[in-house]
């Protein structure tokens, strides 16, 4: 059975760049619709939906955010364009309804009164400064989509074109791996401008100690896989290597680099590292060494060559993520300023996609297995595009909040003037305490670890390959609801699980 499951996820070629980019629109639309439901609830009740039991908020967030993501990569994967158009139409209609129901009626003279919340006044309005919501949502959604994919890939209902590619290609899961590294870099201490206290040597030592949970998880996964005979795709990272080891090494090496070089020049190091690594792949026999599969038994290096050498590409992605984090985490107060940020992210994505086309034409296609330069560029370009879409979605929700008078959509920007009101601030904290997005954000590593454990248990209990589509979707939803419920329960109890 293990050999059948390994073959099921092997020798795949991925999908097109266009389909991956198209799927980017789904999560922002789900986010908008979830916010609009809360706003409509506010309008209908003329009060915040706080009296609803906490289970109702969990079910609302799960049904509006997680369930659609599961369906979109399984039974609805072949109708993504129609799904996106349908969601956009629904969102547009609801936005129009909210706008018109809050527009002042015509005056006695028969002349329509100009709306109080014009676009101009909205662009000049202020927002809260204590967080950047679309960064939080980006990191949470990457985590959630990763959790869905690592189990869904073992079911036949999950399209094979979405799974990780063998050597070259662009699968959705290929992007997920790079995006996970990028997401971690966005909020690392260096990106958040945390000053290094004490000597740089002590700082690096602290970072070495901080990754021990990842090393333990990596060793735990290695031992459990070998002892249980769990299926593994050795061309993914190697015989003994896994993604936890990659995350640990990337974090430590990046910290050492950033302790020596200026953080605001991390993009230069990312470009140099990615370029030199690609040059080495092309000019030496390294590429052939990594791709060749008949020498696994020679040494540990031969057995784990994919995992070891791909670390270089992931470090380049991480350094680029630090640079983007420095930019997006800057203090900005006006909506107009954040709109310019979205424009800059979109422009950066377009420039990188142009560079990707050039690299693919002149060198080689995208390869997650090698973590080559085209893979690094694609990961960063797609991440910037995803972030900009989430940011625009959040600005749309902010405008809807101002128009409707509902200022308490969790994990979204709120009007800064409302934050000065202690009562409003209290209510907002209550809403954040009922939010599934905040729950996952609070314990992201635990969420990822729990997803891996539940994936292993599910594979041992269920013959995933032989399951029908409907049963597969039910198993996936139960798996995700269990994962989300545990994390949500910890959040409700205000428990943050840290290992260091």
Q: Other C-beta atoms within 10 Å of 112: how many?
A: 10
What would the pLDDT profile of 133-148 be if each residue is shown by its tens digit?
A: 999 999 999 999 999 9
Taken as a whole, the chain contains a residue count of 500
Paired tokens of 383: 């991440």
Residue 416, pLDDT above cutoff 60: no
Q: Other C-beta atoms within 10 Å of 207: how many?
A: 19
Using CA atoms, how far apart are residues 91 and 400, in angstroms rounded to an integer? Answer: 11
pLDDT at 421: 59
Torsion from C-alpha of 392, 393, 395, 397, nearest 10 degrees: 170
Residue 109, pLDDT above cutoff 70: no
Task: Provide the whole-model pTM.
Answer: 0.92
pLDDT at 48: 46
With pLDDT > 70 as the criterion, what percentage of the chain qualifies?
Answer: 89
For residues 245 and 214, the answer to whether their CB atoms sit within 8 Å is yes
Complete DSSP assignment for 39-78: HHHHHHHTS-STTS-HHHHHHHHIIIIIHHHHHHTTTTGG
pLDDT at 97: 86
Residue 496, pLDDT above cutoff 60: yes
pLDDT at 334: 87
pLDDT at 51: 47
- Mean pLDDT score, 268-294: 92
Lowest mean pLDDT among 2-6, 181-185, 307-311, 430-434: 2-6
Residue 108, pLDDT above cutoff 60: no
Strand, helix or coil for residue 230: coil
Residue 106, pLDDT above cutoff 50: no
Residue 232, pLDDT above cutoff 50: yes
Residue 118, pLDDT above cutoff 50: yes
pLDDT at 195: 65
Using CA atoms, how far apart are residues 427 and 422, in angstroms rounded to an integer? Answer: 9
pLDDT at 425: 67
What would the pLDDT profile of 426-455 be if each residue is shown by its tens digit?
A: 767 777 888 999 999 999 999 999 999 999
Residue 2, pLDDT above cutoff 80: no
Task: Count CA within 13 A, CB hemisphere, residue 288.
Answer: 4
Give 111's pLDDT tier (boundaries 50, 70, 90): very low
Using CA atoms, how far apart are residues 295 and 28, in angstroms rounded to an integer? Answer: 45
Q: What is the DSSP letter of 464?
A: G
What would the pLDDT profile of 191-204 be if each residue is shown by its tens digit?
A: 888 766 667 777 77
What would the pLDDT profile of 171-180 be if each residue is shown by its tens digit?
A: 999 999 999 9
Q: Please, what is the average pLDDT of the chain?
A: 87
| Per-residue 3-state assignment (H helix, E strand, C coil) for 69-94 | HHHHCCCCHHHHHHHHHHHHHHHHHH
Nearest to 458 by CA among 240, 16, 148: 148
- Mean pLDDT score, 165-172: 93
- Mean pLDDT score, 373-388: 97
Residue with tokens 């369906």: 71
| Per-residue 3-state assignment (H helix, E strand, C coil) for 399-453 | HHHHHHCCCCCCCCCCEHHHHCCHHHHHHHHHHHCCCHHHHHHHCHHHHHHHHHH
- Higher per-residue confidence, 367 vs 208: 367
């Amino acid at each position: 059975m293990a050999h059948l499951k390994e073959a099921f996820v092997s020798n795949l070629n991925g999908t097109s760049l266009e389909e991956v980019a198209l799927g980017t629109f789904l999560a922002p639309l789900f986010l908008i619709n979830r916010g609009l439901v809360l706003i409509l609830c506010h309008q209908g009740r003329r009060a915040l939906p706080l009296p609803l039991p906490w289970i109702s908020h969990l079910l609302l967030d799960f049904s509006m955010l997680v369930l659609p993501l599961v369906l979109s990569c399984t039974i609805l994967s072949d109708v993504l364009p129609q799904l996106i158009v349908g969601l956009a139409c629904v969102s547009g209609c609801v936005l129009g309804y909210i706008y018109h129901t809050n527009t002042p009626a015509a005056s006695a003279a028969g002349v329509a009164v100009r709306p109080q919340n014009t676009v101009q006044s909205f662009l000049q309005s202020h927002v809260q400064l204590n967080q950047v919501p679309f960064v939080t949502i980006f990191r949470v959604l990457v985590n959630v989509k990763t959790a869905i994919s690592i189990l869904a890939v073992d079911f036949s209902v999950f399209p094979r074109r979405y799974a990780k590619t063998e050597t070259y290609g662009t699968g959705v899961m290929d992007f997920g791996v790079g995006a996970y590294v990028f997401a971690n870099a966005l909020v690392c201490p260096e990106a958040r401008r945390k000053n290094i206290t004490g000597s740089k040597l002590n700082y690096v030592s602290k970072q070495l100690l901080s990754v021990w949970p990842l090393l333990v998880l990596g060793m735990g996964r290695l031992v459990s896989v070998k002892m249980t005979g769990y299926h593994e795709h050795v061309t993914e990272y190697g015989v003994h290597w896994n993604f936890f080891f990659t995350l640990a090494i990337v974090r430590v090496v990046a910290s050492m680099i950033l302790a020596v070089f200026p953080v605001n020049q991390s993009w230069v190091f990312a470009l140099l590292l990615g370029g030199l690594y690609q040059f080495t792949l092309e000019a030496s026999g390294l590429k052939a060494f990594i791709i060749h599969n008949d020498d696994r038994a020679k040494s540990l290096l031969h057995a784990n060559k994919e995992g070891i050498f791909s670390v270089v590409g992931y470090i380049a992605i991480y350094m680029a993520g630090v640079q983007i984090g420095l930019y997006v985490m800057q203090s900005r107060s006006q909506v107009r300023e954040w709109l310019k940020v979205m424009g800059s992210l979109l422009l950066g994505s377009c420039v990188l996609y142009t560079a990707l086309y050039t690299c693919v034409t002149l060198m080689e296609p995208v390869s997650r297995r090698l973590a080559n330069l085209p893979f690094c560029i694609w990961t960063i370009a797609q991440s910037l595009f995803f972030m900009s879409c989430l940011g625009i979605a959040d600005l749309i929700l902010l405008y809807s909040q101002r128009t409707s008078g509902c200022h308490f959509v969790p994990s979204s920007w709120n009007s800064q003037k409302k934050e000065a009101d202690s009562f409003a601030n209290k209510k907002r904290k209550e809403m954040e305490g009922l939010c599934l997005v905040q729950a996952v954000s609070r314990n992201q590593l635990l969420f990822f670890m729990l997803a891996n454990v539940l994936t292993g248990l599910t594979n041992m209990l269920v013959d995933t390959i032989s399951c029908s589509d409907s049963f597969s979707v039910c198993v996936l939803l139960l798996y995700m609801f269990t994962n989300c419920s545990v994390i949500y329960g910890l959040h409700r109890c205000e428990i943050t699980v840290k290992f260091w």
